[in-house]
Structure 1
C-alpha cells in the first residue's frame, strides 16, 4: 500500500497566552500522532508573535505569504500584546496593527469563509437557565473577504472641527453566492451526519430537519441586504431538503439568547458574523471553548487558517493559567480538514470528557493538557 503524503502544519503561537496554549497543543498532537500513526509534521514560526518587538516594527517577513504556502494548514495561537511601554510612554504594538497578520492571511490566501461552531459540551459553563440551552449546536458561517471590513475609506481634515470619516462597504454577487452556497452545503452535511433528530422552524416549510438562517439588516441597509436575500432565495432552490429562515441582525442577537436551539446553520456578513459568533461562543460555554477556522472550501492547494476565538490575555500570560481547550478543539477542526477524521473526533471526545471530569474546577494549563492526554 502506498504511503500517504505527509501533511504539514505551521504553528504560529502568536502573543500572550497563545504561546502557552500552543505548547499544550503541540504536546497533545505529539501523543495523537504516535497513537494514531498520523502522517503529520509541523514547524514553529515565531511570527507573528515576537516579530513586532524583534523585527523593528514588522509583524512578519515580507515574503510571509510565500513561506506559508509551503504548508497545508496554519494554526495560530492569539494576536494582540502591547508589550512594554516605550521611552515615549506609548505601547510598542498599537491595537491598530495587532490583527494585521490575520487580515493579511485571510485576504492574501483567499480564505473567504470563517466557520465557528457553537456546541454546548457537557461540563461546560451554561449561562442560560432554560434546559433546552443544553441542545445548542449551531454553525455560524461568516463572510471573510469583503463587506464591512474591506478597509476602503479615510479621514478628511483630520483633527479639525470639519473632519469627515468615511468607511465603505463592498458586496459582490460572486462572493455572496459562494458564501451562501457553502452554507447550504454545510447544512446538508450536518443533516447527513446527525439524521432527522432535530426540527427547526422555517419560513418556507414550517418545519425541517435542517435549516439555514440568513442574517441581514435589509430594512436599514437595503442595497446589500436585498442582494443577499435574492441570492439566498435562488441558491435555496438547489437544496429542497433544507429549510430557510431570515433574521435581522438585532433580532438575531435577541433570539440567540432567547432560543439558540432554534438555529442550525447561520450565514452572515463579515461584521454581523463577527458579532454573532462571539455571542454564540458564550452560549457554548465561553470564548475559552470556542474553535474557529478560515477556509477556502473550493481549494485545498492553499493553506487554511485555524485559530481559537479567544484573545491573547496578556494580563495572565506566562502564569500557566490559560485553558487550552479552545485551541485543542480548533486543532480537531484542523485534523478533520486534513482528512484525519477519526483522530479529530478522538480529540474532541477527549476534550469533552476532560471537561466533564473537571466539574467546573479551575485548573492550570498543564493540568488540562495532562487531563486531555489521559483521556486520549
Structure 2
C-alpha cells in the first residue's frame, strides 16, 4: 500500500484562509482525479484569532501535534495591522510571527528555498529585456544566524536602555547549507540539459560550467561568520569542479540583483540576509503574489517540512475576496513535488498543478480577478488535463 501523506493545513491570518481555501480545492480535485494518497487536517492555529481567544498563538503542545504530519501548509501569519477601533485586540509582530520561527527551529527546517523565475504573464519590473531570463534559486540558511533569538533588553524603557541581539553560526550548519546549494546547482543543470535550456557560467580560472553557486556574506564588516562561510565555501567547492563559484557582499548582491539578476543561478545566504534577498528576488520575478517558499528538513523524514507563500497576511484586503492565490498554489505544487520524492503519482500531480497555475498566469496577465475566480480557472484546467 502506498504511503499516505498527512498535511496540517494552517490558514493563519489575514488573507491566509482565503488563499488556502483555493489550495485545498485543488488538492481535493487532484486527490479524487488521480486517487492520490493524501490526507489533511484544517487547524485553527497558529493565528491571531486563536491568540485572542486563548492568550497564545498556538497550543503549548503544538509542535508535538504537528510532528504527526508529513508537511505543514501555511497561509500567512502576522498582526492584522492598524485599525480604527481602539479596543481591537492587537499583537506585536514579534508575537504574531513567533510560531513561524518556532516551527522552523523545532523541526530543524534548515533549508528555506525560494525560487525566483520570471514566468510568462508575470509582471516584469525591470525594463531590460534580459530580465525575461531571470531564473535563480535563493537558498536561505533557516536554523540559526541572525534569528536565533539570543539577547535581551536591559533597563527597558529608560533613556540608558541597552538591547543586545546575538548572531550564532556553526560550522555544521554552514557546511550543510553550502553543500545543499551545490547539490541543487547540479540538479538544476541536469534539468536544464534535459529541457534543452542550458546556461553557461564562467569560473574564476576561465572555464565554462553549466551551473553556479554564489555565496553571500558581509565578511568585510561581519568578519567572523563571514570568514567561516567563505572558507567553508572554498573548501566545499573542491568537491564540485563542475560548478562555477562566486562570492558577493550582501549590499553588492542587492545592487546586482537589480542590475543583472539573470547572471545568478543558485544563491546561498544567511537567515536575515537571505530573507531580504528573497523578497527582492520575488519582486524581480513578478511580485510577492507569485512567489512560493519552502522550509525543508531534507535529513529527517520524521520531521515535517513547511510550505508557505512568500507574501504576508495583507490585512488591507483580507476578507474581500481580492487576494491572488497564485503564490499559495505554486507553494502547494512544490509541497506535492516534495512528497513526489517518494511517490511518482504525487510528483506528477505537483507538476500538473504548477503547469495549470503557470498557464493561468500567462493567459490572464494583467486582468483583475477575485480569489475564487482564479481558483475556478485553475481547477477547470486541472479537470481538463490528462
TM-score, length basis structure 2: 0.93
Q: CA deviation at 1:96?
A: 1.8
Tell me the SS of whatever aligns to 1:348. Answer: helix
Tell me which residue corresponds to 1:235.
236
Q: CA deviation at 1:164?
A: 1.7
Q: CA deviation at 1:40?
A: 0.7
Query: Structure 1 CA distance, aligned partners of 2:374 and 2:83?
Result: 33
Q: CA deviation at 1:18?
A: 0.2
Identify the range of structure 1 (339-348 vs 39-48) with the bigger mean alpha-carbon deviation: 339-348
Q: CA deviation at 1:237?
A: 1.0
Tell me which residue corresponds to 2:114.
116
Q: Unaligned 5+ residue runs, structure 1?
A: none
Tell me which residue corresponds to 1:260.
261
Tell me which residue corresponds to 1:309.
310
Query: Structure 2 CA distance, aligned partners of 1:127 and 1:83?
Result: 27
Q: Does 1:54 align with 2:60?
A: no
Contact 1:82 1:95 (C-alpha < 8 Å) held by counterparts: no
Q: Does 1:343 align with 2:349?
A: yes
Deviations 1:312-358 (A, max 9, x none): 01111111000000000000110011012211111111001111111
CA root-mean-square deviation: 1.6
Query: Structure 2 CA distance, aligned partners of 1:203 and 1:140?
Result: 21
TM-score, length basis structure 1: 0.96
Alignment equivalent of 1:10, drawn from 8, 16, 22: 8
Deviations 1:52-102 (A, max 9, x none): 1221x1111111011011111000000013379799757432222011110
Q: CA deviation at 1:35?
A: 2.0
Residues 55-204 of structure 1: matches in 2 within 5 Å? 55=54, 57-82=55-80, 89=87, 91-195=89-193, 197-204=198-205
Q: Unaligned 5+ residue runs, structure 2?
A: 341-345
Query: Structure 1 CA distance, aligned partners of 2:95 and 2:319?
Result: 23
Query: Structure 1 CA distance, aligned partners of 2:84 and 2:52?
Result: 11
Tell me the SS of whatever aligns to 2:188. Answer: helix
Contact 2:9 2:42 (C-alpha < 8 Å) held by counterparts: yes
Taking structure 1 as reference, are residues 172 and 155 closer, same or farther at Cα in structure 2, changes over 3 Å only?
A: same
Query: Structure 2 CA distance, aligned partners of 1:179 and 1:119?
Result: 21
Tell me which residue corresponds to 2:283.
282
Taking structure 1 as reference, are residues 165 and 368 closer, same or farther at Cα in structure 2, changes over 3 Å only?
A: same
Residues 20-31 of structure 1: matches in 2 within 5 Å? 20-31=18-29
Alignment equivalent of 2:360, drawn from 344, 354, 358: 354
Q: Count the aligned residue pairs.
A: 373
Query: Structure 1 CA distance, aligned partners of 2:67 and 2:159?
Result: 47
Identify the range of structure 1 (218-227 vs 202-211) with the bigger mean alpha-carbon deviation: 202-211
